[in-house]
Amino acid sequence: MSTENEGTEVPPAPSAPPVPVDTPAASAPDAPAPAAPPMSAGQSGAAAPAAASGEQAAGQAPAAAQSPAAPAPSAPAPSAPDPYAHTAAHVGAGQTTAGQVPAGHASSGHAPAGSGSGAWPPPPPPAVPTYAQGGGSGSGWGASWTAEQPAAPKPGGRRGGLVAAVIAAALVAGGVGGGLGFWAADRSEDSGTDSTTVSASDSPADLKREPGSVAAIANKALPSVVTIEAQSGSGEGGTGTGFVYDKQGHIMTNNHVVASAAQGGKLSATFSNGKKYDAEVVGRAEGYDVAVIKLKSKPANLNPIALADSDKVAVGDSTIAIGAPFGLSNTVTTGIVSAKNRPVTSSDGGSSKSSYMSALQTDASINPGNSGGPLLDARGAVIGINSAIKPADSGGLGGGAQSGSIGLGFAIPVNQAKNVAQQLIKTGEATYPVIGASVSLGEASNGATISDRAAGGSGAAVEPGGPAAKAGLKSGDVIKKLDDMVIDSGPTLIGQIWTHKPGDTVKITYERDGKERTADVTLGARKGDS
């Protein structure tokens, strides 16, 4: 999206200044009429008075030559403000001439207003353009109009001159009234005294950007969030998000964000200031959908984001998500924790293996490209890694393949992600806790049923000598609870088991032959994603 800056063209300076219309011909030598100044777009109104004045002056030359000088009045005429100077200056600045009574009279053939040699009061001075230069004496731009006028003619005895003076006085009075009206209206608009708009204060206190506000949290966290570009050896790839995990240059993100670049591809991380750094994969856990990458050359001011205790999160807590939805880097959205321990199975479609999580659910807007970004609490600490969304059934934006947020986003709890990240940094692979039994992964609502056969269709569903076998579990048993968490399906059971560590003891409630039983199971370990 781009914008075009449309400037306003500056009009060229006129070739010569305007001259007074009614300069008495008897006191000044004849001179050719000056050329009208050139006009640019938006200034057609400025030329009309000048053209009319030129026509009037040309038509009055013979009358001035035939009539003797008019007698001067016995007392000076009362001075009146010049209505033309302000009005014409606005016209010269690109205003229209609507409502300018003096200009209208001048162009309507009212020659008596300025005709007759030595008429009193003298005709109004020409307007000085707003772009006029100078301002002293002489005939240059901005020179005084009265300084250029010849001396008033001596008194005479012709009655026609008095009549002309009376008519001129009436017209000038009318012009003063119209000019003053226009001037007053213009001043009212410029001064804004009648405006009802209210200006907001720009002080930080009024803007309420104190610590804890969304603006303050975003301002602090954004420099530690990166946009990740991953590209496979064949050139395919995508965009995701990550955040600074430690001062050594480790970045935490989702596995599905960097999977395409894991085998000989290219990785880069771009910070909010636009600086881009090459990176490499340190380790990734497909089942957890967690990965750690490292900057090959880290900046000196690397600042990790604080990690919260996700076990203490409560439904209704405020959340802030930062990421690059659809490639729009440094996007900040807000919401709340909508639910906890939400069983989620996700896959990016490029692998036969899925990831399982007991997720934090949020209504903060999360879209493709937010994956791997931080989900923050009201203090700005990380409570989860944004990983998955529930898309609308109607399809993607504008009928496309990718769906957008409908307010159902899911994040990996940071306690689990931190545990996995530490393993990846230390050994390059993660260890999964297991019960040593295969369960059905189909949708169910009454529990997780232990299968008849192991995953892949061969071997026993319950591993001989494994944790489940030691606890007395058998094929066909339906697991209903793990500790206090209700289990409604196989994926839910896996997600809950993976919130623990190998060696932890959990209480399993199961049903066999219509009877409910319990068993304590000490979790075993499986290394890697194989």
State the DSSP string of 160-198: HHHHHHHHHHHHHHHHHHHHHHHHHHHHHHHH-TT----
pLDDT for 213 beyond 70? yes
Tell me: cis bond preceding 122? Omega within 30 of 0 counts.
no
Please count the other Cβ atoms lying within 10 Å of the Cβ belonging to residue 338: 18
pLDDT in tens, 166-212: 555 444 444 444 444 544 555 555 555 566 888 777 666 666 677 78
The residue from 371, 387, 405, 451 that is catalytic is: 371
State how far the Cα of 214 lies from the Cα of 318, in Å rounded to an integer. Answer: 10
- Pairing relationship of beta strands 485-486 and 374-376 according to DSSP bridges: unpaired
pLDDT in tens, 361-418: 999 999 999 999 999 999 999 999 999 998 776 444 344 455 678 889 999 999 999 9
The end-to-end CA distance of the chain, in Å, is: 46
State how far the Cα of 520 lies from the Cα of 435, in Å rounded to an integer. Answer: 11
State how far the Cα of 330 lies from the Cα of 157, in Å rounded to an integer. Answer: 88
Please count the other Cβ atoms lying within 10 Å of the Cβ belonging to residue 236: 12
Residue 200: predicted pLDDT: 74
State how far the Cα of 251 lies from the Cα of 305, in Å rounded to an integer. Answer: 11
pLDDT in tens, 310-333: 999 999 999 999 999 999 999 999
pLDDT for 126 beyond 60? no
State how far the Cα of 338 lies from the Cα of 355, in Å rounded to an integer. Answer: 21
- Does 139 participate in catalysis according to the annotation? no
The more confident residue out of 420 and 147 is: 420
State how far the Cα of 220 lies from the Cα of 332, in Å rounded to an integer. Answer: 12
Sign of CA dihedral 82, 86, 89, 91: negative
State how far the Cα of 67 lies from the Cα of 209, in Å rounded to an integer. Answer: 80
pLDDT for 75 beyond 60? no
The per-residue pLDDT of the chain, averaged, comes to: 74
Which of 437, 439, 435, 459 lies closest to 449 in space, CA to CA? Answer: 439
pLDDT bucket at 263, cuts 50 / 70 / 90: confident
Which stretch of DSSP H or E encloses residue 343?
strand 331-346
- Does 105 participate in catalysis according to the annotation? no
The residue from 256, 355, 405, 489 that is catalytic is: 256
State how far the Cα of 17 lies from the Cα of 132, in Å rounded to an integer. Answer: 9
Residue 125: predicted pLDDT: 54
The residue from 22, 117, 268, 289 that is catalytic is: 289
Residue at token pair 């490209």: 369
> In 11-28, which positions are buried (b, 16+ CB within 10 angstroms) versus exposed (e)?
beebeebbbbbbbbbeee
Residue 402: predicted pLDDT: 58
What is the rounded average pLDDT of the residues 202-231?
85
pLDDT in tens, 488-521: 999 999 999 999 999 999 999 999 999 999 999 9
State how far the Cα of 116 lies from the Cα of 123, in Å rounded to an integer. Answer: 11
pLDDT bucket at 421, cuts 50 / 70 / 90: very high
DSSP code for 12? P
- Does 500 participate in catalysis according to the annotation? no
Token pair listed for 413: 């709890």
Kindly report which listed range (125-134, 200-209, 253-262, 366-375) carries the lowest average pLDDT score.
125-134
> In 483-511, which positions are buried (b, 16+ CB within 10 angstroms) versus exposed (e)?
eeeebebbbbbbbbbbbbeeeeebebbbb
C-alpha 187, offset from chain centre: 36
Please count the other Cβ atoms lying within 10 Å of the Cβ belonging to residue 243: 22
Residue 130: predicted pLDDT: 44
What is the rounded average pLDDT of the residues 232-256?
93
